[in-house]
Structure 1
Amino acid sequence: MMAIEIIDSDTFLGADTNFNIFTNERETNLNADQRCVESGSFYLGDLVNVFRTGSMVTRVVDGGLLSHSSTLYGTCDGAIGAVLTLAPELYRFAHDVQKAVAGQCRNAMRISHEVYRAFDKDQIVVPSKGFVDGDLVESLLDMPRETARKIVQDVLLPNQEEPVDQNAENVLKLVEELSRMH
């Protein structure tokens, strides 16, 4: 364990020496030896050594789908990043965008995004869960607009049950909003 931060009374964010970040949630109905269960795991690829509650931007309160909390992290190599807690509908949306982008684009290492971000703990590799790769989602904004539209044409907006005519443009607008959250 390299760093830990309390997100709320039942949720904890941690980082380990295998370049992973993870979340644990307190379960009161379990016995004393199993009070925390892992609820999220993600291979970050950098050694986090500090977490701090905060944000790098001024927060705009709109009462909608914006994040509930923001935690900054610092790494041994000097990188700074943010872990945002999202409303369930926004998490589903961001996860769907991540899946759409990852299905169309290969990274520089030419391995799938799922394999790259898999949680690696003591030679046991499990798929990431409970986290969305914001850099991958935001890479959509760097693509030619027509390519980005094709990738996200079937992604549903939060609280939407089926795609509509202007869906791709609305998805891109929401991704732009998300990019301003940190």
Structure 2
Amino acid sequence: HEEGAIEERARDYNANWMSAVEILDDDVYLGAENSFNLFTVRKNSEGATDEERGRLEVVGEYHLGEFVNRFRHGSLVMRLPDSDIGQIPTVIFGTVNGVIGVIASLPHAQYLFLEKLQSHLVDVIKGVGGLGHEQWRAFNNEKKNSEAKNFLDGDLIESFLDLSRNRMDDISKAMCISTEELCKRVEELTRLH
């Protein structure tokens, strides 16, 4: 291998007009494309053949609704080293409209918990103009339309804190957790940004 040479290690065979890319870890990459979508791909390092190891598999898809033009590892808030939230890796993004957002790589158990909360919130909080949350967040470009996967809507989840106490209690009961504990877990999430 030549010093300073670019070498292809793996390829995403989906044609996307990319606007930003970031490496999340050795095998997972984050991308934004011109139809206002985000997606993640994973390199199959354990593949049996060179072809399998050279193919990037799409593992996450999400319609952001914004044209991302920059990703950057980091945080907008001071992280406390002794808190669990302080250990969660985050990527900040900027868009052409001036939006600044955060993408957090959550531990699997926390992801599953928040995914369950999100599914309950979708039933309670209605989208603007009658547009359903799943429909709005579905990955959509000229070539395909698919449900969002492996991304959560932090704004929707944080809106739990704005609900009436009765609605909070109903959702907490459905999730088999106390309202106070659920509020605490959502408030922890707000400390990521």
| Unmatched segments (≥5 aa) in structure 1 | 156-162
> What percent identity do the matched residue pairs reach?
35
Q: How does 1:5-154 map to 2 (within 5 A)?
A: 5-28=22-45, 29=47, 31-32=50-51, 34-62=54-82, 64=84, 68-154=88-174
CA shift digits 1:34-75 (9 cap, x unpaired): 521011000000000000000001112346466531000000
2 CA distance for matches of 1:74 and 1:170?
32
| 1:4 equivalent in structure 2 | 21
Q: Is the 8 A contact 1:65 1:86 kept in 2?
A: no
2 CA distance for matches of 1:152 and 1:109?
27
| Unmatched segments (≥5 aa) in structure 2 | 1-17
Cα 1:66–1:145 change in 2 (3 A) is farther
Aligned length in residues: 173
Q: CA deviation at 1:170?
A: 0.7
Cα 1:67–1:36 change in 2 (3 A) is farther
| 2:187 equivalent in structure 1 | 176
TM-score by length of 2: 0.83
Cα RMSD between the aligned structures? 1.7
Structure 1 runs of 4+ with >3 Å offset? 30-34, 62-67
Higher gyration radius (CA)? 2
Q: Is the 8 A contact 1:118 1:128 kept in 2?
A: yes
Instruction: State the one-letter code of the partner of 1:96.
Output: K
CA shift digits 1:71-127 (9 cap, x unpaired): 000001000000000000110111111111001111112122111100013242100
Instruction: State the one-letter code of the partner of 1:16.
Output: E
Matched position secondary structure for 1:8? coil
2 CA distance for matches of 1:56 and 1:92?
25
CA shift digits 1:102-161 (9 cap, x unpaired): 011111121221111000132421000010000000011112222222123222xxxxxx
